[in-house]
Amino acid sequence: MNAIAEYGAQHAKPREINHFGFFSRKDTQVFIAQSLAQPVIDKVSKLMNMPVQNMEKLQYIGYPAGGFFREHEDYIEGRCVTFFCYLDDLSENCGGETFFPTLKLKIRPQRGMAIMFPNGPKNADCAKKLDKWRYNLLKHEGCLTTVPKRILALIGRISTKK
């Protein structure tokens, strides 16, 4: 994990994305080189019970002090599972939690801790039967942080991305 964190810190590019007149996120991001990422992708694909070829590229996401990612959902174009691994400990009262507003659940990052949550149905047949609104429960946000924080993010898809 240290090599991945170092790679991310060295190569991540700042993002400040403006939607409809307000910023939706302030962070840094880079996709991790496949040679470093493959052991993590293999392990997470087993946890998700999904083929490796259905996994998106491993992302390093860094939030500087003042960084955030407003409420959003990851269910886009067949994404069905999200996995986060936190690379830093964040103490209480410094923000930076992953917040699920509908569930009123805040998760404070702790180094090495991982969370995994569904974004939508795991296969296309199921996707046709279920309404997307059921997955609004898993909208989430990266809360404003007063100290830097880093995560790894990996998303599983219903099928191989074309």
The correct CATH number of 2-157 out of 3.40.50.970, 1.10.287.1260, 2.60.120.620, 1.10.260.40 is 2.60.120.620
Residue 113 has pLDDT above 80, yes or no: yes
Query: Measured between alpha carbons, how far is 101 from 86 in angstroms, rounded to an integer?
Result: 20
Could you report the per-residue pLDDT of 151-161, keeping only the tens digit for each?
999 888 776 55
Q: Tell me: the pLDDT tens digits for 48-104? A: 888 999 899 999 999 999 999 998 877 776 787 889 999 999 999 999 999 999 889
> Dihedral angle at the C-alpha atoms of 139, 118, 82, 34, nearest 10 degrees?
-150
Q: What is the pLDDT of residue 162?
A: 46
Task: Give the pLDDT confidence of 7-18 residue by residue, as tens digits.
Answer: 999 999 998 876
